[in-house]
Amino acid sequence: MSDARASRYALAFIFVTMFVDTVGLGIIIPVTPKIIAQLTGQGMSEAARYGGWLFFVYALMQFLFAPLIGNLSDRFGRRPVLILALTALSFDYLITGLAPTVWWLFVGRTLSGMAGASYTTANAYIADVSPPEKRAANFGLVGAAFGLGFIVGPAIGGLLGAFGPRVPFFVSAVLAILNALFGLLVLKESLDPAHRRKFELARANPLGALGLLKRFPALFGLFAVVILMRLAHDANPAVFTYYTMLKFGWTMQTVGWAMMVMGALIMFVYGVLTRIVIPRIGEARAVIFGLVAGASAFALYAFATKGWQMFAGMAVFSLWGLSSPALNAIMSRMAPPTEQGELQGVLASIGSLTSIAAPPLLTNLFGYFTSAAAPVYFPGAAFLAGSIFLVAAAATFARARPHAALSPAE
């Protein structure tokens, strides 16, 4: 097989890997509230609290395991880590589909969080095979897969959910194992032996991994931007379904269609606009523009009075997709090839640490401001908080931008 063909197959595998991961998340969004309600006998406000803790467990596992997986991929290569993670993900979907009690949902989310940390390896793979000037566009490939997954995933969740809220998880299990087999057959290792390094346990845990900041202090301000972005980001998966079902009376199918629209918009931004806009306006301006767009969209969500306004907000929200690949490209230039896996692991760990706190915070904001105890009825409180986080992220990046524009050599 030629190197060009192998590279195409490899990027196709990374795309499909992230697609399958996102399909699983997309399936969960429209059907999880109904599963929780069935298993607990609680209403939508209480179901949202359980949903927040499920995201908490998922994020905790990513926080704990992302540095380990990133460091393992720096030592043994990207290929075996990705294939094993996909295999584990298929077991998560089976467990969730068969869950007899709500606590089995937590078992499934635990395994899913451990396996989902593999996206750090996917990003490291892209950094391995992409020249610096093309990294932002290729990181956008991951976002395009995310967008496509949010087209297919909610569609599966919403449509197959009509046959029972558990059925879509079995479909996801099959997709995950098929993707693992695809990788086993076609994926070429991207990290050559000369760029591998010794595995060090002290660097493979969340606290030890933060030693990366000592070696590259210019990353500190950018890590703060990542934290604020993740705080805001989790408002969508944690609250969107509960908010639209309660405020606008949306069904599982309506949520599924809305997620499909969102996925199509995100796929367009990541797959097309990142390759056009970022090279023209530069990575730093793309980060700022995307953050301002995301903040505006969340504010529109928070104060929407009609269901169609949520769709208008989605169009603005999708432009936030310019920020992540541009920011990732900036940060990847600050670490050598031997530490790309560790860098992505640290980023995932920091983001996951944020997500440990964000879903309970945001779902409890929603639960409190839709309860009788609230001083004012305001279901959009979590989205308004997300808007504030993104404004703070833009301000933080603006201060860090002089350092962010420099590569290590410069």
Q: In the predicted model, is pLDDT for residue 406 greater than 60?
A: no
| Structural domain boundaries, residue 156 | 3-187+217-404
**146 or 299: which leads in pLDDT:** 299
Q: Are 221 and 400 contacting, i.e. CB atoms less than 8 angstroms apart?
A: yes
Mean pLDDT of 385-403: 84
| DSSP code, position 272 | I
Q: In the predicted model, is pLDDT for residue 405 greater than 70?
A: no
pLDDT for 137: 67
Residue 410 lies in a domain: no
User: How many domains does the chain fold into?
Assistant: 1
pTM over 0.85: no
Residue 204 lies in a domain: no
Residue 131 lies in a domain: yes
Residue 192 lies in a domain: no
Residue 198 lies in a domain: no
CATH number of the domain enclosing 113: 1.20.1250.20
pLDDT for 196: 67
Mean pLDDT of 225-230: 86
Q: How confident is the model at residue 392 (pLDDT cuts 50, 70, 90)?
A: very high
Q: How confident is the model at residue 128 (pLDDT cuts 50, 70, 90)?
A: confident
Residue 319 lies in a domain: yes
Q: In the predicted model, is pLDDT for residue 336 greater than 70?
A: no
Residues whose CB is less than 8 angstroms from the CB of residue 377 and which lie 6 or more positions away in sequence, other chains included: 369, 370
Task: With CA atoms as reference, report the closest residue to 107 among 118, 91, 83.
Answer: 91
Residue 200 lies in a domain: no
d(CA 97, CA 267): 28
Q: Are 142 and 14 contacting, i.e. CB atoms less than 8 angstroms apart?
A: yes
Q: Is the dihedral of CA 383, 385, 391, 395 positive or negative?
A: negative
Residue 210 lies in a domain: no
Q: Where are the alpha helices (DSSP H) in 161-306?
A: 167-186, 206-209, 212-215, 219-233, 235-248, 252-268, 274-281, 283-302
